[in-house]
């Protein structure tokens, strides 16, 4: 078969369109209630990647006219201190949404994230991780849905990629990406297969997909053999590569990304091998694909939460 190059699905422009659609709603809410929709972000510790994510969220929210307050706790903070901060934000009259940046310091213990999700008022749960919001999603009456998978749906819809009647394969079954992603595709009438680390014949299963979503956390894991020619491939992965040998396995000699690596000492890549662009019909780049959508959906969810709390 003749080699093709996949259409690149530009997350930046889709995210910009979502953010633009949110602006009039922010203005209308502010005019009606006398204050902007408010988002309280909690950052525990000083994980460098989390610092960048949070900075981007604060900037994007502020640019869209939201009130965004960053609440920091030291890495030494106890889970009780964190839960007390969440309780204060639950009671705050100016915060409509609450986001606790993951991951939490491991010293907080294994079940800490779930305790935090359980404590956030479901009305303010702009990450969509509270059991009430997860349950509503499963029942097809979602209110606040996890930002990354709902951003993927926006990307597919705004790129005119048909979901209904398609075969969709999601690799990854995490609570924050894989599972809600599968539910959202199912509700839009895709026939969905969820794969994980124990799935046999993974490449063969994936290669049946019209829409393949990779949410694994392994650099370049999805190679061309996983992909049906012409399929849409959504790369959720964000992996920092610090080993030049790994970068060499992903990019051909002379590639611009290798020059990036040499300049910075690391690069961020997805779960999908760049060679997939010779097989796929459409592909999200990393960076610049799903990442910007996650932030845009966070802003949208904050406005949705504000409107629901102040009908």
- Name the site residues for ligand NDP (rule: CB under 6 A): 148, 171-174, 176-178, 195-199, 202, 215-218, 236-239, 290-291, 294
Catalytic residue, chosen from 96, 101, 228, 235, is 101
With CA atoms as reference, report the closest residue to 291 among 40, 18, 53: 53
| Residue 101 annotated in active site | yes
DSSP states of 88-133? HHHH-SS-SEEEEPSPPPGGG-TTHHHHHHHHS-GGGBTT--SHHH
Question: Please, which residue, 22 or 215, has the CB nearer to ligand NDP?
Answer: 215
56: phi then psi, degrees, rounded to nearest 5: -65, -40
Question: Please, which residue, 122 or 178, has the CB nearer to ligand NDP?
Answer: 178
**Helix, strand, coil share of the chain (percent; to 5):** 45, 15, 40
CB 215 within 8 A of CB 190: no
Q: How far is the CB of 32 from ligand NDP (least distance, A)?
A: 31
Catalytic residue, chosen from 57, 124, 228, 300, is 57
Q: From start to end of the chain, where are the E strands?
A: 7-8, 38-44, 67-73, 97-100, 167-171, 191-195, 211-214, 232-235, 239-241, 267-269, 282-283
Q: How far is the CB of 242 from ligand NDP (least distance, A)?
A: 15
Q: Which residue is nearest to ligand NDP (CB)?
A: 174
Q: How far is the CB of 106 from ligand NDP (least distance, A)?
A: 14
| Residue 127 annotated in active site | yes
| Residue 139 annotated in active site | no
Question: Please, which residue, 26 or 155, has the CB nearer to ligand NDP?
Answer: 155
Q: How far is the CB of 281 from ligand NDP (least distance, A)?
A: 21
Catalytic residue, chosen from 121, 125, 127, 210, is 127
Question: Please, which residue, 35 or 115, has the CB nearer to ligand NDP?
Answer: 115
Which residues form the catalytic set? 57, 101, 127
């Amino acid at each position: 078969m003749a080699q093709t190059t996949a259409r690149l699905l530009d997350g930046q422009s889709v995210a910009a369109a979502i953010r633009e659609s949110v602006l009039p709603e922010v203005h209308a809410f502010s005019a009606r209630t006398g204050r902007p929709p408010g988002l309280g972000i909690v950052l525990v510790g000083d994980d460098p990647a989390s610092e960048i994510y949070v900075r981007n969220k604060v900037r994007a929210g502020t640019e869209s006219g939201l009130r965004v307050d960053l609440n920091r706790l030291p890495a030494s903070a106890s889970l009780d201190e964190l839960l007390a901060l969440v309780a204060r934000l639950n009671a705050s009259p100016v915060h409509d949404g609450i986001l606790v940046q993951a991951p939490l310091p491991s010293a907080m213990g294994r079940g800490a994230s779930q305790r935090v999700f359980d404590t956030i008022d479901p009305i303010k749960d702009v990450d969509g991780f509270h059991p009430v919001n997860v349950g509503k999603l499963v029942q097809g009456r979602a209110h606040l849905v996890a930002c990354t998978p709902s951003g993927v749906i926006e990307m597919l819809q705004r790129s005119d990629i048909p979901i209904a009647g398609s075969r969709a394969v999601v690799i990854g079954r995490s609570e924050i990406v894989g599972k809600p992603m599968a539910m959202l595709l199912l509700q839009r009438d895709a026939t969905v297969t969820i794969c994980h680390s124990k799935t046999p014949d993974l490449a063969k299963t994936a290669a049946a997909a019209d829409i393949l979503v990779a949410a694994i956390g392994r650099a370049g894991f999805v190679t061309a053999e996983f992909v049906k020619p012409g399929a849409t491939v959504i790369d959720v992965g964000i992996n920092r590569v610090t080993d030049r040998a790994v970068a060499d396995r992903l990019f051909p000699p002379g590639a611009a990304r290798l020059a990036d690596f040499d300049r910075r000492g690391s690069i961020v890549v997805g779960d999908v091998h760049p060679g997939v662009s010779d097989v796929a019909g459409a592909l999200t780049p990393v960076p610049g694909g799903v990442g910007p959508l996650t932030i845009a959906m966070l802003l949208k969810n904050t406005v949705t939460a504000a409107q629901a709390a102040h009908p």
